[in-house]
Amino acid sequence: MTIATKQNWFTEVFGNEGTSFGLEITEKLHEEQTRYQFLEIYQTKTFGKLMVLDGCVMLTERDNFLYHEMMTHPALFTHPDPKKVAIVGGGDCGTLREVLKHPSIEKCTQIDIDERVTWASQTWFPQLCDANDDPRAELLFDDGIAWIKNCEPGSLDVIIIDSTDPVGPAEGLFAVDFYRDCLKALKMEGILVQQSESPLLHTDTIIKKIHQDMRSAGFNQCQTLPFPQPVYPTGWWSCTMASPVGSVSIFRDKEAANKGFTTDYYNLEIHRAALAMPEFMKRSLTS
């Protein structure tokens, strides 16, 4: 639900959570009903441009680096030698850009159902689309669930589920059947990573269920990594990483320390830090 507090504010109300978050805006740059969702682009006063889907803040220029870096680099440095990556969702291309910073990558396929999101990102967030013309990038506009289901077994090193919340179109991305298809599509040492909502709000519900479903699907290890994300509910977000065989808390630390590309949040120490579990999450997720 969106309410206008004043004419020049975009305010998202998280009805079930009893909280709201607002950004001061100077201009509405675009709106359209795509085939799948209602898409809006705003110029904010202090957070750069803002993308909104169905009334939910997706990203701003100022703080998207936190989410995109944390959805990508921990998973890629956990895999011993990632070459083939699939991004389910991620139509703004920010995750794709981070993935292609890794020189080992041979191919990264992004499967987002809504071509208009990518068009909007190319138009208003061109810095996120830096890598779209990289020959290793493949942009598909299709149903990610079906694509993963039909994917050649054992053909992927890393799957990144960069989706909206687990309601509506993205609901099927938070389900044991989908995780089973991911497991089949991954090679033996593959890594799955999914955005997994707010530690404060969702540890006992969504995050706990993701862990249970990933284990039910055959993933042996899973770990939730919290990180700050100011424009999402509570400003505190997470991704959950899973592996069919090994530990997801051991990673290529020497290579992370000498990554050879620029980031704004991620580094070796931040990767280690994100593996730390707050007491209340430990109690919830190990009980």
Give the span between the Cα atoms of 61 and 65, in whole angstroms: 8
**Whole-number minimum distance, CB 240 to its own copies, in Å?**
17
49-53 and 56-60: which strand pairing? antiparallel
Tell which residue, 262, 216, 222, 260, has the closest CA to residue 242. 222
The residue from 23, 76, 99, 256 that contacts its own copies (CB under 8 A) is 23
SS (H, E, C) 258-269: CCCCCCCCCCHH
What are the tokens at 246? 């090994």
Site string for its own copies, 153-192 (x = CB under 8 A): ----------------------------------------
Q: Residue 42 is inside which H or E element, if any? A: strand 38-44
Of 165, 171, 147, nearest to 86 (Cα)?
147
CB of 261 to its own copies, least distance (A): 11
Is 162 among the catalytic positions?
Answer: yes
Q: Which of 162, 181, 204, 213 is catalytic?
A: 162
Q: For 44, what's the count of Cα atoms within 13 Å in the CB-facing half-sphere?
A: 21
Binding mask 199-218 for its own copies (x = CB under 8 A): xx------------------
Residue list 224-253, contact with its own copies (CB under 8 A): 226, 228-230, 234-236
Q: By the criterion CB under 8 A, which residues form the site for its own copies?
A: 3, 5-6, 9, 11, 13, 17-24, 44-47, 62-63, 199-200, 226, 228-230, 234-236, 262-267, 269-270, 272-280, 282
